[in-house]
Amino acid sequence: MSGEKAVQLERENITLRERVNVLNAALTEGQKRNDELIHQLDALRELGPAWRQHLFIAERIEFARLSGGHDTDGQPGDDAIVLYVRPLDEAGNVVTAAGGFTVTLFDLANPEGSREIGHYAFGVDRAKALWYDQFATRHYKLTCPWPAGRLPDHREITARAEFTDALTGKAMVAQDRFAITFP
């Protein structure tokens, strides 16, 4: 065998050893990940078919007590409704739950067909930015300004909020009446 052929074979041998080392490292990493997944699967199996009962899942929503008419411009009168919405679990505890909202405001004293004041959508990403968890206060803060040129006709507004939980897909509704102040 010529010297040039031996050098070429040695280079190929080095390249193949490097490739084997890379594949062995990938195999080790894959086995490690597989072991982690098996451990997770075993933990889920231990929970049994009622795994949901072990999670804190929103079962309903409610408006917190400071919800209502809101002045946004410093001038007399309310310019919006602010809804402080709390997701609650089955025991009535506030839980951090990701999801989106739709809010509809109504003036129910108006004749049928002209009762809806406004409709607002807060997608999951937008709602996430509206979550507050400070000083024993945990809620979403949804601000719903009056549509341009559409001040309510009466001092009592009905708000209907629907929350769709991102984890379960469950829709929850809260509805209440709120007093507002005119300019």
Same domain, yes or no: 67 and 42: no
Domain residues for 23?
A: 3-53
The CATH number that applies at residue 175 is 2.60.40.1940
Half-sphere exposure of residue 87: CA atoms within 13 angstroms, side-chain side: 26
Same domain, yes or no: 166 and 76: yes
Same domain, yes or no: 44 and 95: no
- pLDDT at res. 74: 85
- pLDDT at res. 5: 83
- pLDDT at res. 114: 85
Tell me how many domains the chain contains: 2
Nearest to 164 by CA among 148, 140, 147, 143: 140
- Buried b or exposed e, range 83-116, using 16+ CB within 10 angstroms: bbbbbbeeeeebbebebbbbbbbbbeeeeeeeee
Q: Each residue's pLDDT tens digit in the chain (183 positions)?
A: 678 888 888 888 899 898 988 888 888 998 988 888 788 777 767 766 666 666 778 899 999 989 999 988 888 989 999 999 999 998 888 888 889 999 999 999 888 888 999 999 999 999 888 898 888 789 999 999 999 867 888 899 999 999 999 888 899 999 999 999 987
Same domain, yes or no: 38 and 115: no
Same domain, yes or no: 38 and 120: no
Same domain, yes or no: 171 and 138: yes
Task: Yes or no: say if 81 and 105 are a contact pair by the CB < 8 Å rule.
Answer: yes
